[in-house]
Amino acid sequence: MESLFHSLLMLMLVVWSVAVVMRKIGLPTIMGELIMGVVIGPAVFGWVTPNEVIETLAHIGIFFLMLHTGVETEPGEFYNAVKDSFGIALVGAIVPFSVSMGVALAFGYNMVASVFVGLTMTATAVVITLKMLRDLGFQDTRISRIIVTTCVVDDLLTMIFFSFVLGYLSGDTVDINHVMIITGKVILFFTVTLGIGLLIYPRLTFPFKSKQGKGFTFILVLGFAAGQFAENLGLHFSIGAYFAGLFFEEKVVNKRLFNIVNDRLYALSYSFLGPIFFISVGFHITFDLSIVLIWFLISLTLAVSIGQILSAGLMAKRKHFNWIESLTIGVGHCARAEMAFIIASLGLEMGALDKNIFSVLVFTAFLLNLATPLMLKGCAKLLERHPAHWEY
């Protein structure tokens, strides 16, 4: 247990010191957490060794980040954002998939590996994007709602795309039946979740209406249940957590209880478990890359970032956002993390990817996660000159 507490001590010291330093220089704290993950992890000093406990805490951090985001989002705002964002999500998923797969093919990789590269670079990083938006003060804006909703939809689309990969692995053919099954599971998830949220959730007066009700414990029960339901359907548990929090709103619960639950979730999400996840991202980085792989890394990073910004940004412009808002929405989709790592790991396990390609994919995600906060900060300065367009 001594090594565990040593690791947790190091992680919490990093979280605290990074928050102090990054806020003083006016940069998002997530940048410091990502960089320090590389510094204290195996890639540089090796002060913290990744282990099962840290990985478990990191996954729980994803859960709490998504649950808290759901709690902070009004269901009505979510529905309106879905209407505005589905086209952005669809085109913003197809273009990164296509360009990243094209880069892999251009570097001589076979179709199966290239499809996995494309799929990995399609999955957006909703929890990392959330942290960036919060650090920059975007959390309660219309742009933030569009970006977060689009990222959730992107994750669902990625699961559908993944069914095509299974077809390729079985002989370069697409199993339409499997695609339809995955699509049906996504529809089932939405139907059941929204049905419970709209019809049953408002009737749960006992745990939510009383000041003495165990509302925090009950919201955890609902969150884990929704996460398990999502996993049983082949989706990511974080999507279930988001929807469990989405219907926890002040008109359903006692206002004092709502504030207590919100404060507890915020503390766990942004002061303890969430930062552990962000730091752990850096543990996957390796600098053992050949010249060819470095060129592959550079080409992939540029292709994904440019393709993502142009595709999501231009679709946002078609949805009557101005150019600055559209640029911000495009930039807000560039981060890659949890879903990308899961898909890349599956590709490695299935033999579709080798360790070299896996390292490039992880490093590409890391570079995108470092560049996105800087680009968003530039967008924030532009938006400050036009507050009427994005604050409401």
pLDDT score, position 172 = 45
Mean predicted confidence (pLDDT) in 205-209? 63
Polymer length of the chain: 392
Higher pLDDT, 148 or 226: 226
Residue 42 has a pLDDT of 87
- 287-297 pLDDT, tens digit per residue, is 878 899 999 99
166-178, pLDDT tens digit by residue?
555 544 455 567 6
> Mean of the pLDDT values across residues 217-241?
85
User: Alpha-carbon distance 294 to 314, whole Å?
Assistant: 30
Segment 227-242 mean pLDDT: 83
Q: Evaluate whether 282 touches 105 at the Cβ level (below 8 Å).
A: no
pLDDT higher than threshold 90 for residue 306:
yes
Which pLDDT tens digit goes with each residue over 24-57? 887 778 778 888 988 998 888 888 888 888 889 9
202 exposure class (CB count in 10 Å sphere: 0-12, 13-18, 19+): middle
- Read off the pLDDT band of 310 (50, 70, 90): very high
Contact 64, 273 (CB under 8 A): yes
Average pLDDT, the chain: 81
Task: Give the model's pLDDT for residue 126.
Answer: 72
Q: What is the pLDDT of residue 307?
A: 94
**pLDDT digits over 80-132, tens only?**
767 767 888 888 889 999 999 999 999 999 888 898 899 889 877 777 777 77
**From 230-239, 272-281, 319-328, the region with the lowest mean pLDDT:** 230-239
Owner of token pair 């494309």: 118
What SS3 class is residue 233?
coil
Flag whether pLDDT at 315 surpasses 80. Answer: yes
Q: What is the mean pLDDT of residues 306-326?
A: 89
Q: In b/e form, how buried is each residue of 263-300, taking b as 16+ CB within 10 angstroms? A: ebbbebbbebbbbbbbbbbbbbbeeeeeeebeebbebb
Judge whether residue 301 has pLDDT over 70: yes
290: closest CA among 360, 342, 337? 360
Quote the percentage of the chain above a pLDDT of 90: 13
Residue 195 banded pLDDT, cuts 50, 70, 90: confident
The larger pLDDT score, comparing residue 29 to residue 302, is at 302
Q: Is the pLDDT of residue 323 over 80?
A: yes
Of the candidates 159, 166, 104, 188, the residue with the CA atom closest to the CA atom of residue 339: 159
pLDDT band at 208 (very low <50, low <70, confident <90, very high): low
Q: Enumerate the domain spans of the chain.
A: 52-390
CATH (one of 3.90.1580.10, 1.20.1530.20, 3.40.718.10, 1.10.3720.10) for 52-390? 1.20.1530.20
Nearest alpha-carbon partner for 367 in 69, 128, 153, 99: 128
Do residues 23 and 15 make contact, with C-beta atoms less than 8 angstroms apart?
Answer: no
3-state secondary structure (DSSP) of residue 333 = coil
Closest CA to 239 of 140, 148, 330: 148
Confidence of residue 392 (pLDDT cuts 50, 70, 90): very low
| pLDDT for res 108 | 92
